[in-house]
């Protein structure tokens, strides 16, 4: 249990940093253009509700540790980490994005598809990192 908790504690800063690079630098203009009316902005920067963002950065790593990491094969660490983490990301981000697309008027499908791809990548990298940490901490 303590072992899994140590892995969990490492993941929120990693996922936050990757999200910051993606949302704040690479995809910032895309999200502003496509989701302008939906975004919380302070000047030119996104201004999330901190407690809600914290919930996300606790829930996603918890899911990686509880659902993806236990399925990773120690005999094929990289491929199985990327597969199971990517699959977890696909499920989580598809639920979020397709719910938005189905319920919110003018929610762009393009953003959903890009965001789902990002979720696959983010969770695959998070799971791969968790798998290497798991191996290193044993």
Q: Give me the residue spans of the domains in the chain.
A: 2-137
Report how far residue 62's alpha carbon sits from residue 54's, in angstroms, rounded to the nearest whole number: 12
Q: How many CA atoms lie within 13 A of 29 on its CB side?
A: 1
pLDDT tens digits, 20-58: 999 999 999 999 999 988 999 888 888 999 999 999 999
The answer to whether the beta carbons of residues 46 and 55 sit under 8 Å apart is no
Neighbours of 17 (CB within 10 A): 10
More confident: 43 or 68:
68
| Largest pairwise CA distance in the chain | 49
* 3 state DSSP class of 72: coil
Residues whose CB falls within 8 Å of the CB of residue 70, separated by 6 or more in sequence, listed in order: none
pLDDT at 1 over 90: no
Report how far residue 124's alpha carbon sits from residue 21's, in angstroms, rounded to the nearest whole number: 16
| Per-residue pLDDT, 47 | 92
pLDDT tens digits, 83-136: 999 999 999 999 999 999 999 999 999 999 999 999 999 999 999 999 999 999
């Amino acid at each position: 249990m303590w072992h899994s908790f140590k892995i969990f504690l490492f993941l929120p800063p990693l996922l936050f940093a990757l999200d910051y690079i993606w949302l704040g630098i690479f995809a910032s203009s895309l999200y502003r253009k496509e989701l302008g009316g939906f975004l919380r902005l302070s000047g030119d920067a996104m201004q999330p509700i901190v407690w809600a963002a914290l919930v996300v950065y606790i829930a996603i790593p918890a899911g990686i540790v509880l659902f993806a990491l236990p399925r990773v094969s120690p005999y094929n660490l990289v491929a199985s980490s990327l597969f199971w983490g990517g699959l977890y990301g696909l499920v989580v981000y598809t639920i979020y994005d397709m719910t938005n697309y189905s319920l919110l008027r003018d929610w762009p499908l393009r953003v959903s598809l890009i965001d789902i791809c990002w979720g696959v990548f983010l969770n695959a990298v998070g799971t791969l990192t968790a798998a290497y940490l798991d191996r290193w901490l044993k």
